[in-house]
Structure 1
Amino acid sequence: MNLDFSAEPLFSWYVLLLLVSGILMVAIGAVNFGGLSGGWRAFNVIAGLAFVGYGIYLGFIFEGGSYLILFKAFILPVAMIFNFVRSLVGRSRTQPAQAPAQQNQVG
């Protein structure tokens, strides 16, 4: 395992953030909590798997040398979570308006 917070804190935190953000993105895409479209859900899963894969590579397989710090690894999860929350809020606003219309049709 390549994680050593005392010797290489930046590298270790980067690997940890890659793994956490990747897992969150996969969870958001895999479970249909909100009103995300199929394309956004697929993008979340694919990007999340890429982050987790790179995190696993750096944390367990990487043997030293140079590595690439992707600043998108910090920005993209925030954007995906923002989009997810926005879709949840939009969905909660439309549901109460639809509920009375359905009740009138039944009776």
Structure 2
Amino acid sequence: MFNWYVGLLALSGVIMLVLAALRQGQNDWSRALNAIFGVGFLGYAFYLAFLFDGGSYFIFFQAFILPVMMIVNFFRNRTPKPKLTETQKAWRAYQQSTGHE
């Protein structure tokens, strides 16, 4: 169980750092959060794998929700917004000219 936990921490950290390095589909705040938590996950995995000499340690399975949410956020923001047709553009212009928007 311990090795799985350390491996998942390291994998989550690497994925979050990769997401932080990509500029597409994210604002600076999301990239900063990915970088901070990625370093935290990798740091804790490194500590548990190489510096930890036994005893008690914290297992935060809830922490694995965060990388999933950040990945979903990354791909949700990357999906292109649909382009408006000429009719939709005309309707939007009409609404703006009459003050309905």
Instruction: Provide the TM-score with structure 2 as the length reference.
Output: 0.78
- Highest Rg: 1 or 2? 2
Q: How far off its partner does 1:70 sit?
A: 1.2
Identity of aligned residues (%): 48
- The unaligned stretches of length 5 or more in structure 1 are 1-9, 99-107
Aligned-partner residue type, residue 44 of structure 1: N
Aligned-partner residue type, residue 79 of structure 1: M
Runs of 4+ in 1 over 4 A off after TM superposition: none
2:81 counterpart (83, 93, 99): 93
Q: How far off its partner does 1:93 sit?
A: 2.0
Q: How far off its partner does 1:41 sit?
A: 0.4
- The unaligned stretches of length 5 or more in structure 2 are 85-101
CA deviations on 1:44-74 (whole Å, 9 max, x unpaired) are: 0000000000000001110000000112331
- Please give the root-mean-square deviation of Cα atoms over the aligned residues, in Å: 1.4
Number of aligned residue pairs: give it. 84
Residue number in structure 2 paired with 1:11: 2
CA deviations on 1:10-36 (whole Å, 9 max, x unpaired) are: 11000000000000001101121x321
SS of corresponding position for 1:93? coil
* 2:68 is aligned with 1:78: yes
Residue number in structure 2 paired with 1:50: 40
